[in-house]
Amino acid sequence: MKTPLVFLTAMTALSAAELTYPVTKRVDVVDDYHGTKIADPYRWLEDDNSDETKAWVVAQNKVTHEFLDTIPQRAALRERLTKLWNYERFSAPFERGGRFFYSHNTGLQNQSVLYVTEALDQPGRVLLDPNTLSKDGTVSLTESTPSEDGKLLVYGTSAGGSDWQEFRVRDVATGKDLADVVKWVKFSNASWAKDGSGFFYSRYDEPKAGDALKGKNEFQKLFFHKIGTEQSADALFYERKDHADWGFGGHVTDDGNYLLIHVSQGTDPKNRVFYKDLTQPESKVVELLTDYDADYGFADNDGPIFFFRTDLDAPRYRVIAIDTRKPERAAWKEVIPQTADKLEGASFVGGKVFCEYLKDARSEVKVFSQLSALNSQLLTLPGIGNVGGFSGRGKDTHTFFSYTSFTEPGAIYRLDIATLQSVVWRKPAVDFDSAAYETKQVFFTSKDGTRVPMFITHKRGLALDGTAPTVLYGYGGFNIPMTPAFSVSRAVWLEKGGVYVVANLRGGGEYGAEWHKAGTKLQKQNVFDDFIGAAEWLIANKYTASPKLAIQGGSNGGLLVGACMTQRPELFGAALPAVGVMDMLRFHKFTIGWAWKSDYGSSENADEFRALLAYSPLHTLKPGTRYPATMVTTADHDDRVVPAHSFKFAARLQECQAKDGPPVLIRIETSAGHGAGTALNKVIEQSADQLGFLMKAFGM
């Protein structure tokens, strides 16, 4: 197929931009992996505290922002993003002690605000405003759990986007904080004792000076904090000195009688489950599920009978009941069997079980009479989209759920449990004509014959002539499904005539355990083949052509983009890898990276090393290759995927890019992390930069 002249003109103009990249020194570092010598000349960039690295960050940002400043559409994009983001957003409310708690953002607040009200038909009052906790809006609210009587609130905050949290306690009536402070919390919820005397939480030991954002996180411990005491007096409830990689999540059952301990091992969906009878203070922790053979998600209990959503002998999940008085497997009972669709969640509320299914990556909800899989009703949803919520207790008469799609922002519905009739509780008014766009789901065949779904959203009446600028987004990992969701930046892209595509790749959680495993470890290449197959389908079906096709993804999705742009650089016109895992040989050496071995494998294993080396973005870049226009994005406080991944990849990409190739830049945000909790003003700035970069690359 001939490339239209407009494409050539746009790309030539972009290639002609004279950029002088900062000089990145090379050091003589060589590692031996099972007899294979691998050079790592940019190892020094792993030290985020060094003056050299800090100077390199400043120099790279200077080049990037000077280039972005030449994009004429950028100011208009920023203005449109700001206007479109200026709409009210709510979370679904939940009740404790006769009070309802929910979050609300008036539109352009950097962080959403926590509200409380005694009645849903009355205006709420501000309980906690994170925007007042820092001058630049970079302190975010990470946890907010009220006590059973609704009188106290334990809340967590994170500074600058870090995964580290600090927990505090607020009096709900007065809005004043108590003296309690709990530090060095990470990857943990808070769960109150029934009587409100304190809460369970998990933490790590305080890291060494300078290691907070890069040191390994190991030996997590489960504690109980008693209200009114110092953290040093917290009771250690559970630890395992023999298992550095075990993580613990404490959850008190709704009746207050049991503490469930969810025992994870890295990011593997499989887990163990222990419990303690809280009615017997001297009781020991009981190791209920120890085989580490499946995913067991606690859903509810009826006294000593525990209900779990599990993929044991059911890759698409089912619900089982275990009587703790007769815990042997022969006595387990199936409550809700596996179906053709993946059971994404099961909530026991108001005497019914709300089961959220993924039907080809879009939501379907069935409501079962409790403990009876023979009597179910299909909940009516507004369209092709994604739902969430259905939280509550056994005595509740109503529950709430959210619904969103690629063109509709999240509306909150109040559902009468007896009649299953829903009414809108809050629906935002957005300056976006959703009726002018359509979403369709298509299926394509991957390299090995696997049928893979993807969603395509664009203006109605789009001409399929191969000229539409297109963004292809993917993730493909850690059993996480990519479902329909509204995005302001994507809405602006659609308004500019762009096409937005989400591919549901293997490695994700769209179809259950088998789909996930098919994209892990030695089979990880399947994920990249799926993404490349999606791109080829879009081109073959004349949605776009390579010069106007961009790929985008974050975190594991950043790895996806990095791997695909190095394997098929000619297939894409632009690439936006964000906070990506780019060095597949050393990811396990930083913060929580070791936990990803369940998906990736490890360079410590000879067979897995060879598989990792074959696709590791950092190691597959080749000098003199013409790579697509690329803007790598990361943040200085990302302690999930440390920024060294992006630093080293960008340095090597600039070294390898063909002399006549388009720009390859790195944008490094300050006082931000892996993404969650990022101040809205920073989100708007980065979105304007990414959209502007694409419009420049595509000559739009």
Tell me the catalytic residues: 555, 674
DSSP secondary structure letters along 598-666: HHH--TTSHHHHHHHHHH-HHHH--TTB-PPEEEEEEETT--SS-THHHHHHHHHHHHHB-TTSPPEEE
Find tokens 């360079």 and name the residue. Answer: 603
Q: What are phi and psi of 39, to 5 degrees?
A: -80, 145
User: Which tokens in the block code for residue 479?
Assistant: 């059993």
Round to whole Å and give the CA distance between 178 and 155: 12
Contact 369, 375 (CB under 8 A): yes
**How far apart (Å, rounded) are the C-alpha atoms in residues 103 and 398?**
19
Quote the CA–CA distance of 89 and 105 in Å, as a whole number: 5
Of 293, 357, 348, the residue nearest 321 (C-alpha):
348
Residue 9, class by beta-carbon neighbours within 10 Å (0-12 exposed, 13-18 middle, 19+ buried)? exposed
Cα separation, 495 vs 498, whole angstroms? 7
Q: Find the Cα–Cα–Cα–Cα dihedral 509, 515, 517, 520, rounded to 10°.
A: -80
Q: Nearest to residue 534, comparing CAs of 579, 482, 581?
A: 482
Helices (H) and strands (E) in the chain, counts: 12, 39
Task: Identify any residues that bridge with 117 across adjacent strands, giving them in sequence order.
Answer: 100
In a 10 Å sphere around its CB, with 0-12 CB exposed, 13-18 middle and 19+ buried, how is residue 119 labelled?
Answer: exposed
Gap between the Cα atoms of 405 and 669, Å rounded: 29
Task: State the residue for tokens 């630093």.
Answer: 647
Interhelix angle for 680-698 vs 74-85, to 10°? Answer: 140
Burial of 288 (0-12, 13-18, 19+ CB in 10 A): middle
Are the C-beta atoms of residues 271 and 288 closer than 8 Å to each other? no
Query: What are the b/e assignments for 46-83, b being 16+ CB within 10 Å?
Result: bebeeeebeebbeebbebbeebbeebebbeebbebbbe
**Residue environment code for 338-373, b if the CB has 16+ CB neighbours within 10 A, otherwise e:** bbebbbbbbbbbbebbbbbbbeebbbbbbbbebbeb
Q: How far is C-alpha 641 from the chain's CA centre?
A: 12
Which residue in 412, 538, 419 sits closest to 469, CA to CA? Answer: 538
Task: Give strand pairing partners of 411.
Answer: 403
Amino acid letter for position 171: D
For residues 428 and 88, the answer to whether their CB atoms sit within 8 Å is yes
Q: What is the DSSP code (8-state) at residue 696?
A: H
Q: What are phi and psi of 491, to 5 degrees?
A: -60, -40
Rounded CA-CA distance 306/300 in Å is 6
